[in-house]
Amino acid sequence: MIEIQNLTKMYGQIKAVNNLNFTVEKGEILGFLGPNGAGKTTTMNIITGYIPSTEGTVRVCGYDILESPKEVKKRIGYLPEQPPVYMDMTVIDYLDFVADLKKVDKKQKRSQISDIMELVKIGDHRNRLIKNLSKGYKQRVGLAQALVGSPDVLILDEPTVGLDPKQIIEIRKLIKALGKEHTIILSSHILPEVSAVCERVVIINKGEIAAIDTPENLSRGLGSASKLTAAIAGPRNSVENAIRGIYGVKYVEAGAEKDRDVISYIIESDKDVDIRKPLFFAMAKLGYPIIELKSLSLSLEDIFLQIVTHEKEVV
């Protein structure tokens, strides 16, 4: 759906983007992450045709952005960090104006705008001036304009910035729903949001790609060990000794008593050793039930900080 090849952008002698290569598959929600100044917005502006690249190619639905800019732009809906709304227009007049700019068929325009307002839940505000809306509703109007024209691709730059927790959850749910019909590139500094909606992430640092993969694979690739938490019913010393005797276990720490005779343990093992089955059999042999067992993988925040701080490349 989107192909980025050898993409480079120079500002004088400064390389804002340096030889980026990645693809976004049809129907995928891709998280696009990086610290401030990493080149995220520059890359998104190149994909949308807002600015040209110095070198490299961008193809959307098979069309080259430089050779067929109109074909690419009609297939992209873009929500920049600051929604491109006209404050002195009503919601319905603004969306009607956007539909005319995007040359939506006049026979379909009214029904399409109505459907979009219903989708982003701004129908009750259709006749209000945009300047009188809350920030959350302005953001919804910005998202609505990106959806006008039924684009194949949505590029969303910080879509929840400045919103309250309730609004963030609502927009997050909406983005996930939109992913069923659209290919989405989502840039956000709210990393739990990216974890919640994105199947795969690209992390860019100093204009270059530092990592591309699913959060789960990145966590496994960066971690030096595997960690589990296990709640086990049994005597503390006996349980600890049994766990330490399992091949691959490096470290065991008993925590608080979760319930009567049930203690929580943090277990660290060699990175490539899966101790879950041996742990089950060891506890079953002793007659100590495992009440709860969970993996403690690196969070996306941990992954992000490790990559951009230590510049460890995982591609």
In the chain, helix, strand, coil percent, each to 5? 35, 30, 30
Judge whether 73 and 19 are in contact, CB under 8 Å.
no
- Angle between helix axes 106-119 and 135-147 (nearest 10 degrees) is 140
How distant, in Å, are the alpha carbons of 106, 218, 275, 298, 314 from that of 221? 52, 5, 18, 10, 7
Condensed to tens digits (0 to 9), the pLDDT of residues 84-124 reads 999 999 999 999 999 999 999 999 999 999 999 998 889 99
The pTM score is: 0.76
**What would the pLDDT profile of 241-279 be if each residue is shown by its tens digit?**
999 999 999 999 998 787 778 999 999 998 778 899 999
Mean of all residue pLDDT scores within the chain: 90
* Domains defined along the chain, listed by start: 2-220 (3.40.50.300), 225-297 (3.30.70.3190)
Q: Is the dihedral of CA 148, 149, 150, 152 positive or negative?
A: negative
* DSSP state letter for 131: G
Least confident among 74-88, 94-108, 117-131, 156-170? 156-170
Cα–Cα distance for residue pair 65/52, rounded to 1 Å? 9
Q: Look at residue 64 and give its three-state secondary structure.
A: strand
Mean pLDDT of 54-83: 93
The whole-number pLDDT of residue 68 equals: 94
Stretch (H or E) spanning 108: helix 106-119
Percent of the chain with pLDDT over 90: 65
pLDDT of 69 higher than 60: yes
At residue 129, does pLDDT exceed 90? yes
